[in-house]
Structure 1
């Protein structure tokens, strides 16, 4: 049986508590030079794609902007379009919200990026329902939570309809005139649903990979079904076995129920790494990095989102707060996605963990707020990643570093060659599009018209 090829994505910092902005070698999170360096490094390591998260509002704590956040973030699409000019093979994946955008505009932007990059565009579909973010975009501030997946599903279907409104042969060359002529029905579309009713002609011909790649994240049954039915890849929250393998099997099985092949969707968790010349050195460096990432103040802020109340009076080196969370109070932390929806249950579980492991407040945060690090010598990290993928814990990993923008260099220089030696990572790019390099099935060049 041939070895699975490890899919690699590169993730650049952004709005999170993992980035070591205090490090003396840290660079800007918003200068183009940082994006360019990370993308060029990823391409040198034969990564599949470069990934950008998105923050649509400056996060707040008790009505005031975080003093630990990055203030500002350039819009995703211009950054990716600029990176298309300084890379040749690397996929370019951007996070764009389905709640606060319209199909026609978004379809044009992504199809244009796909053309500019030669078939390397990807869209990470996210949804939002909170009024805090929504007030930047829509009157009334939000879309009802029950409708967010409905709108996202209709958004993807509408955008794909527009992309498919051009066939590959809709542009006929007129050699005598030195131009291209579109067929009379090229670009015609008519989309009707609960969320959208649009009709017209799409202006961008079919792109090099047919459609940009669709990425999505979802843990709930509804989120897993959404990804299994429509996405080309799903971000997994699980970085270790056996939970990762169960998630892998479940999403692949759901894809089959929607008439797809298990290979039609890729499973990709995010991960960090810390390398050392010895295992002991790597573990010591990892502890140092984590202790600097999660200061006492950071620990309190992370717990405040769950408790939904001011915890600034508690000692980070003391026990967990003895007060109960306030699930029904107005959000104390605004602009950060709440992963643990059951605040009361989460607090109860964390108290049990803290008691069992003898952890203080900050130690509990260190224990619970981690994204699956690979720690060890380069050969150990290469073996861990490869074994995880070969055991169907995932199809690959999205690698980020605590140090922006140069942290990825060490992974490319020291781990990538070992993965290549194992036969689990390409030495050269073999495909011309992101879809090719991810091993996704090709799309028909003539998918059929949206309007007959």
Structure 2
């Protein structure tokens, strides 16, 4: 059976993907950028737009990490505003479960789902560091197992709030004879190790019942959380073989929760470069990677593994001859990427071997390991690769991350989407109105 490809668009910024030096690079905060991006995604019949979010400005060597966006408007505000300038596009926001509270998040998402006629989605994430926690009254942080336990409880609590409204019952007004809807908000009460709340939820049941739930995390705890509770999971696996292994692993966990494989979508993030020919695209991709990893950026990246101030090193020179510092304190704060390098000494050893083999400088090495595009080629090549990965169960689709905003998505929508439609693997138009329908998920009872 031929699978349908799912496509979404990530508004970039909380990374080094964006090429700031390009004349076409626009504002990351002006509403016009969000409007252009969202309307392009909707023109391409994408499932949804995705916003990431950080709860504190990142720092490195005690200074603001200025290679990322250093400002981003509130997620709910942006998504609600985009709901007014789009009709079908799903709107997904990253909202933290470590430092927020269930009642507030449930009310905001229920409101967003009403305002957008059923297009809201929640990417549930956790925070791992005390640095971010300093922005909040509780402060501190939770160990990984407790973070995911809080996330599971947080999600269950919000579901109780969403479901507390018992629907509308039809009642007749005896004097006028007019039939009136009689909503029945229900009381809620939830008490556990993390939350002790009770009251009445003020927002009626929304068009989707509750937002579509996304999860991003590749750890054992993250995979299990997705299998138990999520409708879709983001992944970072860039090769066919790694994607297939992840796909089998996560979908294989669903049965223990009474779920079937079609109840969870696997959607890796993917960058792209489209050219008239494969050769032209490869040349353009090389130039984009060099723009994404400047000399300064390269030093900041390698510092995250070495855990040292390496600003005195020449980015066009050899790798540091000293080893990484291993310890609890780190030169980079607020960057989840630091957590990727669980064994910095082993990473440094691998990078030195690769640099020696290829003759790489620091910048050349960082360009190689940090900024490789997922899809590079002519429109025909990119469409064929995407189709192959989906049909071979390496993914159910992709969340596309362009290197420019607001116009970076346009080449894909204009040149690749029509070819996927010709292949019969991507919709020619929206068939439903809610995000659950776009994703092929069954309606909630």
TM-score interval (norm. to shorter): over 0.9
Distance in 2 separating the partners of 1:37 and 1:249: 37
**Pair 1:427-2:407 in alignment:** no
State the match for 1:401 in structure 2: 402
**Pair 1:86-2:89 in alignment:** no
Deviation at 1:125, TM superposition (A): 0.7
- Please list, as runs of the form range in 1=range in 2, the aligned pairs for 1:6-405 lying within 5 A after superposition: 6-169=5-168, 180-183=181-184, 186-337=185-336, 338=338, 339-370=340-371, 372-405=373-406
| Structure 1 residues 370-394: Cα deviation after superposition (integer angstroms, max 9, x where no partner) | 3652100111111111111111110
- CA gap of 1:139–1:221, structure 2 versus 1, over 3 A, is closer
Distance in 1 separating the partners of 2:171 and 2:211: 23
TM-score under structure 2 length normalisation: 0.95
State the match for 1:447 in structure 2: none
Moved more, 409-418 or 191-200: 191-200
Aligned length: 441
| Structure 1 residues 89-117: Cα deviation after superposition (integer angstroms, max 9, x where no partner) | 00000001100100001000001100100
SS in 1 for 2:253: helix
SS in 1 for 2:441: coil
Q: Is there any run of 5+ residues in structure 2 with no aligned partner, and where? A: none
Contact 2:171–2:179 (Cα < 8 Å) also in 1: no
Deviation at 1:76, TM superposition (A): 0.2
TM-score under structure 1 length normalisation: 0.94
SS in 1 for 2:234: strand
Distance in 2 separating the partners of 1:268 and 1:176: 52
Distance in 2 separating the partners of 1:16 and 1:147: 27
- CA gap of 1:164–1:139, structure 2 versus 1, over 3 A, is closer
Deviation at 1:345, TM superposition (A): 2.4
SS in 2 for 1:113: helix
Deviation at 1:300, TM superposition (A): 0.8
| Structure 1 residues 4-31: Cα deviation after superposition (integer angstroms, max 9, x where no partner) | 1111111111221110111111110011
| Structure 1 residues 142-175: Cα deviation after superposition (integer angstroms, max 9, x where no partner) | 3344421111111011011111112333576868
Contact 2:102–2:154 (Cα < 8 Å) also in 1: yes
Over the residues paired in the alignment, what is the CA RMSD in angstroms? 1.7
Q: Is there any run of 5+ residues in structure 1 with no aligned partner, and where? A: 445-452
| Structure 1 residues 116-159: Cα deviation after superposition (integer angstroms, max 9, x where no partner) | 00000000011012111111112443334442111111101101
